[in-house]
Amino acid sequence: MPIKHSFQSARADNDDAGDIQPSQWNADHVLTGLLALIDQVAPTPNSFFTLDAGGNPQLKPLADFIASLLASPAFTGNPTAPTPAAGDNDTSLATTAFVQNAIAALVASAPGTLDTLNELATALGDDPNFATTMTNALAAKAPLASPGFSGTPTAPTPGAADNSTKLATTAFIVTALAAYAKIASPTFTGTPAAPTPTAGDNSTKLATTAFVQTAVSAISGAFGQCRLAKSGANILLSPFRGNLLTIAGVACTVPDAGVSLAPTGLTAGTLYYIYATQSGGAVNALEASTTAYVVDTTAGNKGVAIKTGDNTRTLVGMVRPIAGPAFADTLAQRFVRSWFNRLKPNMVASFSANRTTTSTAFVELNTEIRTEFLVWADETISYGFSGFGFHSAANDYLVVGITFDGGTTPNAYAATFGSNGSAIPCSTMLASFTEGYHFASMVGRVVTGGTGIVQFSPAGAATLAGAII
């Protein structure tokens, strides 16, 4: 339909051809284009204008338009949408972020070489029947628990010293058994050992060296085929009339060269007992100790003198070091004594000048005539003095005697009368000495006064001599 302006101009047209004339404004206007098309349809609520396939105008329900937008929309550009929560499983739009989160959760901590389906397929050998293939393969395997092998199964051979739960192959067992002797006629090598049978056993058990030594000791008694003596600056335990020494019930060999001990670390003037030790059936060392000895009562070692509380140490002697420290074994100092095969040592000392006394009580004439010695409890001491003496007065006596350990009562004495003098020999024998250190000396006195004189010349004329017998 035509369109008219609601306002009509009352003015008349003018003569200016370039102007819009009032009559033109007031005239009806004909619609063209889109407006003409819209004008062809009647308005309808909740509808929208569109053209059909022939270009004819029409109104369609608005619901149809909305439905056309929801059904299979074809987005362009960069459409976005809210990202659903991880694990969402409904008709919500899945954004790229949702998809990436789902893929990451699926891959989880898979290594880089197994985080794609292609990599997984490759790892499975591109086998679509992988489960069947593995089931068939496992059917040919033995179970871990109590497997029952067949055919000729093999396994790696463990190392010779292996002591674990690894399978022992025949090669492992053959190698292991090679170190063992056969039951029938075995040939042992190295240093074979066996339990030592009880002393007196009389069976087919193997006799160890310890068993034999005990048996031999029971027949011949304890061995002490050795002697302790000073050798150079040391003491030396040497073989003597054999070479066996019983230590802890074992007859041990004393080396041909002997076993020595230096005085290093010992204290001068101290009595030490010397004990021997052994290793592998051979005497290997000497030990100096102030610990006294006892006689062992242990079976197989009965009667052997041992260090108190320790039968692995057999007594072989005693010593008393002098200043240095040093060992001494001289006529004046017998300070090295052997327990076995004892010598009978002599002790000798002489005056180097006339020795005098004016005392009416016995006093030591001079320390130079002392002789010192060590004695075992079962030994006897014999001493004698030979010399010439006289008195300064014609009618008085000089009395001399032998004493021990600083005593003032002589064990033996002799007297000479007057100024002419005479020989004054005396001797004594004692068997009651305590074990250990002692010394002998000469004492003298006058009876009433004056001077008593023991003459030293010629050299050795006044001599104190002793012996341990």
Intervals of the chain under pLDDT 70: 1-9, 17, 23-31, 33-34, 36-37, 39-40, 69, 109, 213-221, 459-460
Residue 112 lies inside a defined structural domain of this protein: no
Residues 226 and 300 grouped into a single domain: yes
**CATH (domain of 457):** 2.60.120.40
Same-domain check for residues 363 and 413:
yes
For residue 317, being part of any structural domain is answered with yes
> CA-CA distances (angstroms) from residue 64 to 55, 61, 303?
19, 6, 131
**Side-chain-side CA neighbours of residue 158 (13 Å):** 12
User: What is the number of structural domains in the chain?
Assistant: 4
In a shared domain, residues 288 and 353: no
Query: In this structure, are 317 and 231 located in the same domain?
Result: yes
Query: Is the same domain home to 181 and 225?
Result: no
Element (H, E) at 70: helix 62-70
Residues sharing a CB contact under 8 Å with residue 435, sequence separation 6 or more, in sequence order: 375, 376, 377
Q: pTM for this one? A: 0.56
Domain limit, last residue, from 67, 82, 98? 67
| Co-location of 224 and 298 in the same domain | yes
Same domain flag for 284 and 376: no
Per the domain annotation, does 199 fall within a domain? no
pLDDT the model gives residue 224: 93
Residue 174 has which token pair? 């053959």
Q: pLDDT at position 393, please?
A: 94
Same domain, 282 and 367: no
Quote the pLDDT of residue 141. Answer: 80
CA dihedral 331→335→336→341, nearest 10 degrees, is 70
CA distance 232 to 49: 141
Range of the domain at 459: 346-468
Total residue length of the chain: 469
Q: Which of 300, 331, 362 is the last residue of a domain?
A: 331
Cβ atoms 337, 319 nearer than 8 A: yes
What is the distance in angstroms between the CA of the first residue and the CA of the last residue of the chain?
174
> Which of 303, 331, 359 is the last residue in one of the domains?
331
Q: Note whether 301 and 351 are same-domain residues.
A: no
**pLDDT for residue 214:** 65
- Which residues, including other chains, have CB under 8 Å from residue 344's CB and lie 6 or more apart? 467, 468, 469
- Is there a domain that residue 79 lies in? no
Indicate whether 408 and 460 sit together in one domain: yes
Query: Domain for residue 209, yes or no?
Result: no
Place of tokens 């670390």: 265
Q: In this structure, is residue 201 part of a structural domain? A: no
* pLDDT score recorded for residue 3: 64
Predicted pLDDT of residue 437 = 97
Q: What pLDDT shows up at residue 160?
A: 81
Is residue 297 located within the same domain as residue 366? Answer: no
* 33 within some domain: yes
- Evaluate whether residue 390 is within a structural domain: yes
pLDDT value at residue 337: 98
CB–CB of 296/311 below 8 Å?
Answer: yes
Domain co-membership, 272 together with 322? yes
